[in-house]
Structure 1
Amino acid sequence: MADIAREAGVSPMTVSRAFKSDAYVNDETRKAILLAADRLGYVMDSMASGLSSRKTGFVAVTIPSINNANFADTVRGLTEGLLENGLQVLLGYTNYHLEEEERLVRQLLTRRPEAIVVTGGKHTDKCRAMLENAGIPVIETWDIPADPIDSVVGFSNADISAMIVRHLVATGRTKIAFLGGDTSRDTRGFDRRRGFVRAMEELELDATRLAEAGPPPISMREGAEALTRLMLKWPDTEAVMCVSDLAAFGALTECQRRGIDVPGKLAIAGFGAYEISDICVPPITSIDPHCYQIGVLSAHRIIGLLTDDPDRKTASQTVLEPDLLIRASTFSEVQS
């Protein structure tokens, strides 16, 4: 600041005031100071300013995977929703490990974020205790936890499975399998499998066709390999619900390699409304969880809590209604 003051011909205190939007500095002086700062390549130390304002200007976020388009869309919606209030996102990824989430949350909280957004509603006991005592808004997303910590923006992963099961049964199929990953790590994937089992049992159908596909996130290759194992064990399977569109695309390509007609012989459904599920042949029936909207609604909730703006505040629990996108991978002559 002393360098800028010399460059602009003002005092360091005037430079300090010029960088504060709520402090008075006449327009001509402020412009001269900002031009001097630009010439010198000055970047204000937000940590130092945060010591006096007690505001750091960022929101911490944890997601399970950084290469998952669904979570990327949520972060994009959150980032764009926070931008107008000058808040930035500090991102960490857990790789689907609750213990890693605990470590990240501990580290992020030492940075004094103004709010924290976490993916899912299941946490270690220590992580939950830290979030409960953080003293900042906490948003749990992509889930509807039974015992929320603070605010929730999400949907029931179990209920979406029931949507798919009902659709597949409506097409005349009853021998239906679930293809998923390591349910000890992917808690939302576990809820989808739990929802599948529950829906099948409610319809008095066999719910034991459960094919593992490896640790999350499930790749297309792992989806293909799991489909091979599934069909060897249950060759009369009529439909497969996959934990994600990537797994479903892998299963679809394996069917094409093996000459299995989709959807005539085997119907395939996924989750996530990925672009690939819409442009492949045949397009894959999927669930659109409104990933971007999860981020936007989380941002609105945070801003409402931080600014005490009644027009910005939303309900502490926002439940989204995912859409079932029925496509050609589940159409067949089975339908009447």
Structure 2
Amino acid sequence: MADIARKTGVSPMTVSRAFKSGSLINEATRDAILKAADELGYMFDATASNLRSQKTDFIAVTIPSINNANFADTVGGLSEVLNARGFQILLGYTNYDMQEEERLIEQLLRRKPQAIAVTGGKHTRRARKLLENSNIPVIETWDMPAEPIGHFVGFSNADAVRSMVDHFVNVGYRRIAFIGGDVSRDTRGSDRRLGFITALNDHGLDASRLIDAGPPPISMREGANAMARLLSEFPDTEAVICVSDLSAFGALTECQRRGVAVPDLMAIGGFGDYEIGGISVPALTTINAHARQIGARTGSLILDLLDHKDNIPDVTIRPQLIVRETSR
């Protein structure tokens, strides 16, 4: 700052003010300071300012997977809204592990974020306490928890899968299976599995055709392996609902390898409306959870909370069943 001050003929305090949005400083002076900073390769260090104000310019976010297109879209939608107000995202990756989520939440909160958004509504007891005592806006996403910590932006994963079960039953499928992952880790996948079981029971149909594809995230290869087991253990199955489009695409390729016509001999449904599901042949029936909208609505909710607006409601997302070529 002293170097920039000498170069531009102003005081170091004026240089400091030039880097703060909203500060009262002549625009010509600000432009000259920023130009000098660029020429000298200077980067403003906001740490001292943050210590004084007890405020930072970032929002903490946790997601379970960094290579999942849905969560990437959610972070993208969130970033667009927050960036417009000068906030940046500090991202934590939990790998579908609630113990890891707890560790990340503690580390992120130590850095004094302005708000935190977490994926899902189920956490360890300690993680929940950390969030409850954080004194910042807490948003739970991709879920509709019965007892939200703060606010939520999400939907019922169980009800979303129920809509696909209802459709499959209404068009005539009766022997329906479910492919999912380790329910102890993927809590949203567990809710989808529960929705599948509940819906079939309500229709008076057998809900025992459950194939465990292994620990999440479930890949295309694991979806293919699960379909192979399904065809071996329940060869008379008419339709299968998969926990994600990736596992559904894997199941589809396994059917093609074995000469099982889709949808004539096996109907397949996925979850997430991934790009691969729309361009596969045949195209996948799926559920669009509006991943980018979840991120954008989370960002707007965070800004409203930081602006101390009154009576801010939670945000309920309405997933959409998309019937394509892998089912009737």
Same fold per superposition (TM over 0.5)? yes
Q: Deviations over 1:9-68 (max 9, x none)?
A: 111111112222332222222111111111111111122211122221000000000000
Aligned partners of 1:220 and 1:249 also within 8 Å: yes
State the partner residue of 2:33. 33
Q: What secondary structure does 1:328 align onto?
A: coil
Give, in whole Å, the separation in 2 of the partners of 1:23 and 1:72.
35
**Count of residue pairs the alignment pairs up:** 328
Map of 1:299-314 to 2, 5 A cutoff? 299-309=299-309, 314=312
Secondary structure in 2 aligned to 1:194?
Answer: helix
User: What does 1:239-278 correspond to in 2, within 5 Å?
Assistant: 239-278=239-278
1:330 maps to 2:327? yes
Letter in 2 for 1:165: V
Structure 1 unaligned blocks of 5 or more: 332-336
Q: In the alignment, which residue of structure 1 is the partner of 2:169?
A: 169
Q: Distance in 1 between matches of 2:81 and 2:25?
A: 30
Correspondence for 2:235: 235
Structure 2 residue matching 1:330: 3-state secondary structure: coil
Most deviating of 26-35 and 89-98: 26-35
In 2, Cα distance between equivalents of 1:25 and 1:160: 53
Q: In the alignment, what sits opposite 1:334?
A: none
> What's the CA shift string for 1:281-334, capped at 9, x where partnerless?
110100000000000000111101112356xx741x211110000001002xxx
- Percent identity over the alignment is 61
Conservation of the 8 A alpha-carbon contact between 1:287 and 1:325: yes
The more displaced of 110-119 and 37-46 is: 37-46
In 2, the alpha carbon distance for the partners of 1:207 and 1:21 equals 59
More off after superposition, 16-25 vs 270-279: 16-25
Shift of 1:136: 0.2
SS in 2 for 1:271: coil
Paired with 1:26 and 1:161, the residues of 2 have a C-alpha distance of 58
TM-score, length basis structure 1: 0.96
Preserved contact between residue 300 and residue 314 of structure 1 (Cα < 8 Å): no
1:212 maps to: 212
Deviating 4+ runs (over 6 angstroms): none
Q: Could you tell me which amino acid in structure 1 is paired with residue 326 of structure 2?
A: S
| RMSD between aligned residues | 1.0
The answer to whether the Cα contact below 8 Å between 1:212 and 1:226 also exists between their aligned partners in 2 is: yes
TM-score by length of 2: 0.98
Matches within 5 A, 1:80-91: 80-91=80-91
CA distance in 2 between counterparts of 1:270 and 1:314 reads: 33
The answer to whether the Cα contact below 8 Å between 2:305 and 2:312 also exists between their aligned partners in 1 is no
- Unaligned residue ranges in structure 2 (runs of 5+): none
CA positional deviation for 1:264: 0.3
Q: Does 1:320 align with 2:326?
A: no
The reply on whether 1:282 has 2:282 as its aligned counterpart is: yes
